[in-house]
Amino acid sequence: MHDIQWTTAGLWLAVVASGFYHGVNPGMGWPLAVSAGLMGRGRRDVVAALAPLAAGHLMSMLVILLPFALMTALLDWQREIRIGASAAVIAFGVFRLVNRRHPRALARIRPTQLALWSFAIATAHGAGLMLLPIYLGLCSTEELDAAHQASSILMARNSVTAVLVSLAHTLSMVTAGGVIALLVHAWLGLKFLSRSWFNLDFVWAISLILIGAIGLLTA
């Protein structure tokens, strides 16, 4: 029982940690919040820009996780679903490792398009896919299967879990990104950003592959 509790706690910690990781990555949008503050009313616009960035990121998570919440009702195929999801994460990680270009259509956006941009960029980078093995680990159906619970109950529970995972991840993402955006805007400045920051695309791709591999081993 204690092992199950520790495993669940570890998976939730991974959800939050991946959110912080996404938030630190400038590719998820915090430089746009800095830009909004520099071109607008200062710190107020930095904070205001975080809301659409978070909304777009959240929608990207839900678009990936909610279909799997329905699929996990197929109890007899639970292991195959987890293996397929992990393989998809590994494949996308390899793709990101080989092709690190950002979609050109997303290079220039208006402030009113921040939510749409955040949704598109999170989807293009596989942010939701990174959560799949973690989410499916949280949605282990062994206990419900043994008790012969109805599929509708399982789908409802897993849908709630998908929403909670998405919310926890997005909250940690926007917290990390927001803190960095405020620091850069108020004290560190753009020179610090150009001199001191590093590209996380390679680390991101490797992370996808590692998380997918862990998902395969635990399926």
What one-character-per-residue DSSP string does 134-176 give?
Answer: HHHHHT--HHHHHTT--HHHHHHHHHHHHHHHHHHHHHHHHHH
- This prediction has a pTM of 0.80
- Residue 166 confidence (pLDDT) above 90: yes
Cβ neighbours of 146 (radius 10 Å): 8
Question: Looking at residue 56, what is its pLDDT?
Answer: 95
Which conformational region is residue 126 in: left (phi greater than 0), alpha (psi within -120 to 50 degrees), or beta? Answer: left
What average pLDDT does the segment 27-54 reach? Answer: 86
pLDDT 10s digits, 50-65? 999 999 999 999 998 9
Measured CA to CA, the distance from residue 66 to residue 71 in angstroms comes to: 9
pLDDT value, residue 143: 47
Contact, 205 vs 94, CB < 8 A? yes
Q: Which residue has the tokens 């590719």?
A: 27
Cβ pair 42, 195 in contact under 8 A: no
* pLDDT classification of 219: cutoffs 50, 70, 90: low
How many C-beta atoms surround the C-beta of residue 49 within 10 A? 25
Lowest-confidence range among 59-63, 105-109, 155-159, 166-170? 105-109
Query: Which residues make Cβ contacts (< 8 Å) with residue 219, sequence separation at least 6?
Result: 79, 82, 83, 86
Which percentage of the chain shows pLDDT scores above 90? Answer: 20
Look at residue 6 in the predicted model and tell me its pLDDT. Answer: 56
